[in-house]
Structure 1
């Protein structure tokens, strides 16, 4: 059985927005690869949103609803990126505790 310190925080949440973890020694398994793909998509989406920010904020004609929508999307992306950072930080610590 995988030690609790070796659980991987997955990039999605479960029921009631509780974190999901993967317990496996196989980092190339299906769920691990799926999690890698989801993390990559989440990071790409966050980058796309960040690219939109200057144009939206510099547009004097931007509607308040457009700015609120962007802010909601940014907050959601920040939660995802934070989860990815925590997960990858934990993976680094498990892989080589001397790197942290």
Structure 2
């Protein structure tokens, strides 16, 4: 939930990679719920990717292209998780806990 006149950083980018924001006081509104669901999916995918990375890094015979794919996917997941953390941290700072 955003405080009045506060913007919520959304978990996706707009054109040219620019951040998207939501302006609403409605915690249970459609866009707020959509953003919450997207964040949950992003965090879940990052957790799964972290497990995959642990397994891949312990394999001494992993191919270079597999390591490059893993690095690319980890970079994307880290970007998503950082955006979620930034958004939730901002929400905590301005309006209290956010589920």
- What SS does the aligned partner of 2:25 have? coil
Counterparts of 1:31-42 in structure 2, within 5 Å, are 31-42=31-42
Task: Give the paired residue count.
Answer: 93
- Runs (5+) with no aligned partner, structure 2: none
Q: Matches of 1:28 and 1:94 in 2, distance apart?
A: 18
RMSD: 0.8
Query: Residues 46-61 of structure 1: matches in 2 within 5 Å?
Result: 46-61=46-61
Q: What are the Cα deviations for residues 40-95 of structure 1, in whole angstroms up to 9, with x where unaligned?
A: 00000000010011211111211100011001000000000000001001111121
Residues 1-100 of structure 1: pairs in structure 2 closer than 5 A: 2-3=4-5, 6-96=6-96
Inter-partner Cα distance in structure 2 for 1:27 and 1:56: 40
Query: Between Structure 1 and Structure 2, which shows a larger proportion of helix residues?
Result: 1
Per the alignment, in what secondary structure is the counterpart of residue 26 of structure 2?
Answer: coil
Deviation beyond 3 Å, 4+ runs, structure 1: none
Matches of 2:53 and 2:13, distance apart in 1: 27
Unaligned runs of at least 5 residues, structure 1: none
